Amino acid sequence: MAFLDRRTHPSIVTLVLVSGLGALSLNIFLPSLPGMARFFGVPYGQMQLAVSGYLAVSAGLQLVIGPISDRYGRRRVLLTVFSIFLLATVATLLATSFETFIAARMVQAVVATAFVLSRATVRDMVPGPEAASVIGYVTMGMSLVPMIGPVIGGFLDEAFGWRANFALLLAFGVAITALVWADMGETTAKGGVPFKDQLRAYPILLRSQRFWGYCLATAFASGLFFAYLGGAPFVGDQVFHLTSAQVGYFFALPAVGYAIGNYLSGRFAMRTGMDHMVLYGTLLATAALIVALGAEMMGFSSPFIFFSMVGVTGMGNGIALPSSNAGMMSVRPELAGTASGLGATLSIGGGAALAALSGAMLGPGSGAIPLVLIMLASSAASVGAILWVFHRRKRLGI
């Protein structure tokens, strides 16, 4: 029992892999989506539920996972999450119908809560400004996983079929569960925060306009990427006529940009300040999407331009998101899990809607413009949200 409850901080490598498994589950099979639609005999928009539906379910789960982890601890909850994920992944491998696959995929969404739990663990370990820096380094390492995930997924799809992607997820899931068991001790205060105490503190958190500013900045910055996940496989396949493997290669560009942005966040967040990091990152992402839209409207439609500009938006998000996440958890540090979960629910719930919208707006002859417009609107809204935080700080004199 002492082994189960020992209080040792997990290594950064463990937190990277915990977060990375959730990211890998979301994107490794994206190059396979058009082929999976053909395999199950359903339209692409319906098959895209494997992304948008997954995001919607994970949004609801993240609303409750934060408070549960504040009460019962990060370690115990994380091990439970991974156990459920492994069972659901086995079910996706055995699925022979679209309905069975989607049902298993929705249960598999529980692993998306791992990022909430890893962020809250970081906030347990270090204070606000330093947390932004550590989260930046953790997500920099984590971004290597989705960087290579679609590349590997495209290769596995062409060589062995779409099920190979889920077999790889199962193998990684088993390995990372064992690592968490061995390395991750409990980081919450002894006994956690009782639910009744959380309920008393909730109104203070929800009334904070700074909290909502950080939440919305995070949600809209993340939203542009979720819209991209919903529409980019179609754009690659139908607009640019790329193979599954080629789509996988291009999908690495946003992850490369995100890793660079995370490095810059880890390097400069403490010196520059959380709010300015969020502003600089969201402005960079918005500028890149304006360039992408201009190129599409002038007839310079090219996978190199489109995916390269999305790569720059990835850099902007890598700069902005560690600080915006640390900012919303700094409002009530003792409720870091609750704040992280609430922010993630808003981000992923909005992302699910944007992913579904991008899938619905893309069709024969549409080109990439509808997707770029959705991403640009979301990115511009993230700039507005962080400017609101600056406005509130100025009015309050802080």
CA 390/CA 89 separation, integer angstroms? 44
Position 4 confidence tier, pLDDT thresholds 50, 70, 90: very low
Q: Ranked by mean pLDDT, which of 38-42, 205-209, 358-362 comes out on top?
A: 38-42
pLDDT on residue 239: 80
pLDDT on residue 245: 76
pLDDT on residue 206: 75
Look at residue 7 and tell me whether its pLDDT is greater than 60: no
Q: What does the domain layout of the chain look like in residue ranges?
A: 2-396
Position 200 confidence tier, pLDDT thresholds 50, 70, 90: low
Q: Based on C-alpha coordinates, what's the Rg of the chain?
A: 20
Kind and range of the H or E element at 132? helix 128-142
Look at residue 285 and tell me whether its pLDDT is greater than 70: yes
pLDDT on residue 1: 32
Say how many CA atoms lie within 13 Å of 51 toward its Cβ.
37
pLDDT on residue 80: 92
CA 36/CA 34 separation, integer angstroms? 6
CA 161/CA 187 separation, integer angstroms? 41
CATH topology for the 2-396 domain: Growth Hormone; Chain: A; (1.20.1250)
Position 137 confidence tier, pLDDT thresholds 50, 70, 90: low
Whether the CB-CB separation of 29 and 233 falls below 8 Å is answered with no
CA 291/CA 76 separation, integer angstroms? 46
Q: Tell whether the torsion through CA atoms of 189, 194, 197 and 203 is positive or negative.
A: positive
181 compared with 197, residue with greater pLDDT = 181
As a whole-number percent, the residues of the chain with pLDDT over 90 amount to: 26
Position 192 confidence tier, pLDDT thresholds 50, 70, 90: low
pLDDT on residue 190: 62
Q: Which of 18-32, 78-92, 157-171, 336-350 has the lowest mean pLDDT?
A: 336-350
Long-range contacts of the stretch 389-392 (C-beta < 8 A, 24+): 389/210, 389/213, 389/214, 389/217, 389/275, 389/278, 389/327, 390/275, 390/279, 392/209, 392/210, 392/213
Would you list the DSSP string of 319-372? HHHHHHHHHHHHSSGGGHHHHHHHHHHHHHHHHHHHHHHHHHH--TT--SHHHH
What integer is the mean pLDDT of 34-56?
Answer: 85
Look at residue 94 and tell me whether its pLDDT is greater than 80: yes
Q: Model confidence over 157-181: pLDDT tens digits?
A: 888 989 999 999 999 999 999 998 9
Q: Model confidence over 103-122: pLDDT tens digits?
A: 999 999 999 888 778 777 77
What integer is the mean pLDDT of 169-197?
Answer: 79
